[in-house]
């Protein structure tokens, strides 16, 4: 089904797709988010708008900007660029050359961005779905 929230696809396995469905929800620290997602799915299956995203799933403009910068930094890092080269691409050459590289705040920011991006790539992205983690 398609709506303003984007396309939705549901694959049902078995011989009787018209029978009532069940959902298995682990009772872990994410149970409330899982239930919110399940309620959104139920509303869509009933042909109603899914409703607002839970606040834990909403990404602020500041975080979105940082995530995009992290992706750019990760791209450079994975291509073998040095931290200085990544910093030049992210912050412009004049910002990088303004202060000595070893003590530059731009150097520290770049190293943190790359480290955080690598951590996200290695599975940390799942934390985006968790509330206040």
By the 8 A CB rule, do 56 and 132 touch?
A: yes
Model confidence band, residue 3 (pLDDT cutoffs 50, 70, 90): low
Looking at residue 54, what is its pLDDT?
A: 74
Show me where the domains of the chain are located. 1-10+28-55, 61-129
Query: From residue 106, how far is each of 33, 79, 97, 125 by CA, in Å?
Result: 37, 20, 10, 24
* Distance of alpha carbon 35 from alpha carbon 18, whole angstroms: 22
Return the SS3 of 48.
coil
Arithmetic mean of pLDDT over the chain: 85
**Residue 69 burial (10 A CB sphere; 0-12, 13-18, 19+):** middle
Looking at residue 2, what is its pLDDT?
A: 54
Q: Which residues are 7's β-sheet partners? A: 2
pLDDT tens per residue, range 32-70: 888 988 998 888 888 888 887 777 777 889 989 999 999
b/e map 101-125, b = 16+ CB within 10 Å = eeebebbebbeebbebbeebeeeee
Residue 111 has pLDDT above 50, yes or no: yes
* Distance of alpha carbon 88 from alpha carbon 90, whole angstroms: 6
Looking at residue 22, what is its pLDDT?
A: 85
The encoded tokens of residue 11 equal 């694959």
């Amino acid at each position: 089904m398609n709506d303003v929230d984007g396309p939705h696809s549901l694959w049902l396995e078995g011989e009787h797709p018209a029978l009532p469905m069940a959902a298995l929800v682990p009772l872990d620290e994410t149970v409330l988010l899982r239930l919110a997602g399940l309620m959104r799915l139920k509303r869509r299956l009933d042909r109603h708008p899914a409703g607002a995203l839970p606040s834990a799933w909403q990404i602020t403009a500041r975080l979105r900007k940082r995530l995009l910068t992290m992706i750019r930094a990760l791209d450079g890092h994975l291509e073998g660029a040095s931290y200085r080269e990544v910093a030049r691409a992210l912050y412009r050459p004049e910002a990088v050359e303004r202060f000595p590289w070893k003590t530059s705040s731009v150097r520290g920011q770049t190293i943190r961005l790359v480290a955080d991006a690598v951590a996200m790539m290695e599975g940390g992205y799942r934390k985006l779905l968790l509330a206040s983690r």
